[in-house]
């Protein structure tokens, strides 16, 4: 009996370690620009709100040797509540394809469930303007919770939803899986499985290689002394 208990303990310990495994590969530094929409002369969210979301993402990514180097500034879109694809596409002019960009807006309506407002979404430009083709960005909304930034950045770097759930890439409440028959995803957890970490790091490495091929001048001065300043 004792050896069975010991074996069970070792298995449980191994599973727990695998769920929170820290990858001992070379550190990766991700240049990230977060732009906060200004509507009627005011930012849709405070610097403290932005800082909370940055720190939430840093905590999750930092476990796996990934550092976010963040610049924060503002932008003035024609509208801060986005309804439909065209409204999302119109923000392409505020995005630089050579760096990962997050646009913080007040509201984004779900395209498939109009009664639901998203917390965040990874968006690709598919409009008619050839100058904007290839641009993609993360939309973060005013109702977002801190883990959402990390979730959407994982999409940006190539990860998909894990329909089994139980980790950072669990589908959101408006996902079709919740409107269909069959098993539902396990509850969300702010962790990444080892296979997700490997995929994330591969995606970041590809992004950094592409960026190095097209240099972009950036001071990343938006976060100073650990505090966010909207420039």
Give the per-residue pLDDT at 222.
Answer: 39
Instruction: Evaluate the CA torsion angle 100, 18, 63, 104 in order and state its sign.
Output: positive
> Does the residue 111 lie in any domain?
yes
> Does the residue 186 lie in any domain?
no
> Does the residue 95 lie in any domain?
yes
Worst-scoring range by mean pLDDT, 96-100, 158-162, 208-212?
A: 96-100
> Does the residue 106 lie in any domain?
yes
The domain containing residue 106 runs over which residues?
26-146+194-222
> Does the residue 38 lie in any domain?
yes
d(CA 124, CA 91): 11
> Does the residue 139 lie in any domain?
yes
Please give the tally of structural domains in the chain.
1
Band the pLDDT of 24: cuts 50, 70, 90.
Answer: low
Give the per-residue pLDDT at 191.
Answer: 97
Q: Is the pLDDT of residue 8 over 70?
A: no
Give bridge partners of residue 186 from the DSSP assignment.
Answer: 165
Mean of pLDDT values over 62-90:
96
């Amino acid at each position: 009996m004792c050896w069975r208990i010991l074996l069970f303990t070792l298995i449980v310990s191994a599973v727990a370690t695998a769920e929170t495994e820290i990858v001992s590969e070379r550190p990766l530094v991700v240049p990230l620009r977060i732009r906060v929409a200004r509507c009627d002369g005011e930012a849709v969210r405070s610097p403290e709100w932005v800082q909370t979301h940055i720190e939430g993402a840093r905590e999750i990514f930092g476990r796996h040797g990934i550092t976010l180097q963040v610049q924060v500034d503002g932008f003035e879109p024609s509208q801060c509540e986005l309804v439909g694809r065209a409204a999302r596409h119109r923000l392409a002019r505020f995005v630089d394809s050579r760096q990962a960009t997050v646009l913080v807006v007040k509201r984004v309506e779900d395209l498939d469930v109009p009664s639901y407002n998203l917390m965040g979404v990874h968006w690709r430009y598919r409009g008619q303007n050839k100058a904007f083709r290839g641009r993609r960005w993360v939309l973060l909304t005013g109702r977002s919770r801190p883990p959402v930034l990390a979730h959407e950045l994982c999409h940006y770097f190539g990860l998909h939803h894990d329909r089994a759930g139980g980790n950072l890439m669990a589908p959101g409440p408006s996902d079709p899986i919740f409107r269909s028959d069959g098993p539902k995803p396990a509850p969300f957890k702010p962790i990444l499985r080892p296979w997700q970490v490997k995929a994330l790091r591969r995606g970041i490495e590809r992004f950094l290689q592409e960026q190095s091929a097209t240099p972009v001048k950036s001071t990343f001065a938006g976060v100073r002394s650990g505090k966010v300043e909207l420039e």
